Structure 1
Amino acid sequence: MIFRKALAADIKKIQIVRNAVTENTLSNPALVTDEDCLEFITKRGKGWVCEIDTKIVGFSIVDLQENNIWALFVHPSYDKQGIGKQLQKLMLDWYFKQTKMNVWLGTAPNTRAESFYRKTGWKEIGTHGKGEVKFEMTYENWK
Structure 2
Amino acid sequence: MKTFSPRIRPASVTDVSAMFKVRASVGENTMTGEELAAIGVTPEAIALAIESGPCAWVSTIDEEVVGFAMVGLDDACLFALFVLPEHEGRGIGTRLAQTCEAALFERHPCAWLETAAGSRAARLYRHLGWGSEVELSGGDIRMKKQRP
**Into which bin does the TM-score normalised by the smaller protein fall?**
0.7 to 0.9
Partner of 2:25: 20
What fraction of aligned residue pairs are identical, expressed as a percent? 32
CA distance in 1, matches of 2:16, 2:8: 15
Residue 65 of structure 2 is aligned with which of 49, 53, 56?
Answer: 56
CA distance in 2, matches of 1:112, 1:60: 15
Structure 1 residue runs of 5 or longer lacking an equivalent are none
Q: How far 1:44 sits from its partner (Å)? A: 6.3
Q: Is the 1:44–1:63 contact (alpha carbons within 8 Å) kept by the matching residues of 2?
A: no
Q: How far 1:87 sits from its partner (Å)? A: 0.8
TM-score, reference length from structure 1 = 0.87
CA distance in 1, matches of 2:8, 2:114: 24
CA distance in 2, matches of 1:104, 1:77: 27
CA distance in 2, matches of 1:68, 1:42: 18
Which one is further off, 13-22 or 31-40? 31-40
Partner of 1:41: 50
Indicate yes or no: 2:140 matched with 1:132: yes
Q: Is the 2:57–2:68 contact (alpha carbons within 8 Å) kept by the matching residues of 1?
A: yes
Q: Which amino acid aligns with 1:33?
A: T
CA distance in 2, matches of 1:57, 1:47: 14
Q: Is the 1:106–1:127 contact (alpha carbons within 8 Å) kept by the matching residues of 2?
A: no
Q: RMSD of the TM alignment (CA)? A: 1.8
Q: Is the 2:69–2:97 contact (alpha carbons within 8 Å) kept by the matching residues of 1?
A: yes
